[in-house]
Amino acid sequence: MPISGEIVAVNEELGDAPELINQDAYVNWIVEVKPSDISQLENLLLVDAYQELLKG
């Protein structure tokens, strides 16, 4: 995980159907996190920047 914090929720639906994450990763989340240091969010990539990174 790219930030530190406390996991406050887990998507239980993925336990029975992990393929859901591949169908729509923005709807079928894995965990919800309460950040311990909110400033770490500033280092996360936006979608476009992450896709460019993947192109390598």
What tens digit of pLDDT does each residue of 4-14 get? 999 999 999 99
pTM of the model: 0.69
pLDDT score of 56: 81
What tens digit of pLDDT does each residue of 19-37 get? 999 999 889 999 999 999 9
Instruction: Decide if pLDDT at 49 tops 90.
Output: yes
Contacts of 1 (CB under 8 A, 6+ apart): 33
pLDDT score of 39: 96
State mean pLDDT over 35-47: 94
Nearest 10 degrees: CA dihedral of 43, 6, 8, 17?
70
